[in-house]
Amino acid sequence: MLTLDEAVKVTRTGDLWIFRGRSVPDRAIQTMTNSPVNHVGMAIVTEDLPPMMWHAELGKSLLDLWSGTHQRGVQLHDLRDAVTTWADRYDQRPWLRQLEPEATPEMEDAALRTVARLDGTPFPSTARLAARWARGRVPRRLRKEATLESAYCAEVVAVTYEEMGLLPAGRRPNWYDPGRFWSGDDLELLLGHRLGNEITVGVERTRRP
């Protein structure tokens, strides 16, 4: 187990932050996507900025560091602020999974290009998540191609990993759900990379139980 300060200090680009909550919406996402967790984000760590969280969410309470505005959907947040918000305000339990070996500079550049392309993409309504997840499992030849006009958290991570060369091309982003990035699912990465086991992250909370 790591404290939040310790986890932020060791986080590198490509590391995953996974969350599990107990609210009705959290349980709905877990049920509809057949996943033990309901949220996943990817860390982006560059030399001249604080560690950041790249993910998608319905809220807009945190400043999006790419656009400089408060917006819903796909966002780039200060990592510490994002984890604290998800643990404290949303009552989520966080884990860290580290990418091994760490991302190369070329992978970091690819991740930032994905941020430039997807930042601000709308978050789909909760009612559409189950149908979206199911459509992702229909063979490609049976479906019309579609652009990523909206995205939820696992799709954002999957698309970014694909651009970094860590996931194979060919699957639609909505084939992925948060549980794909949990250790219980055998997610095969490319280029000799793997994800380490979940590390529990302790966050000091101000919210009452």
Confidence of residue 31 (pLDDT cuts 50, 70, 90): low
Question: Percentage of the chain with pLDDT > 70?
Answer: 78
Greater pLDDT, 157 or 135: 157
Distance CA 76, CA 79 (A): 9
- Computed over every residue of the chain, the mean pLDDT equals 83
Q: Please tell me the pTM assigned to this model.
A: 0.83
Does the pLDDT of residue 27 top 50, yes or no? yes
Whether the pLDDT of residue 132 is over 80: the answer is no
**pLDDT given for residue 51 in this prediction:** 97
HEC letters along the chain = CEEHHHHHHHCCCCCEEEEEECCHHHHHHHHHCCCCCCEEEEEECCCCCCCEEEEEECCCCCCCCCCCCCCCEEEEEEHHHHHHHHHHCCCEEEEEECEECCCCHHHHHHHHHHHHHHCCCCCCCHHHHHHHHHHCCCCHHHCCCCCCCCCCHHHHHHHHHHHCCCCCCCCCHHHCCHHHHCCCCCCCCCCCCEECCCEEEECCCCCCC
pLDDT tens track for 103-123: 999 999 999 999 999 999 887
Average pLDDT of 80-100? 94
Task: Supply the pLDDT for residue 134.
Answer: 41
- Assigned architecture for domain 2-202: Alpha-Beta Complex (3.90)
Sorting pLDDT into bands at 50, 70 and 90, what band is 131? Answer: very low
Domain boundaries defined on the chain: 2-202
pLDDT in tens, 161-184: 999 999 998 787 678 888 899 987
**Token match 């499992």: residue?**
137
Q: Which is more confidently placed, 140 or 204?
A: 204
35-54 pLDDT, tens digit per residue, is: 788 899 999 999 888 999 99
Say what the pLDDT of residue 52 is.
98
Higher pLDDT, 92 or 149: 92
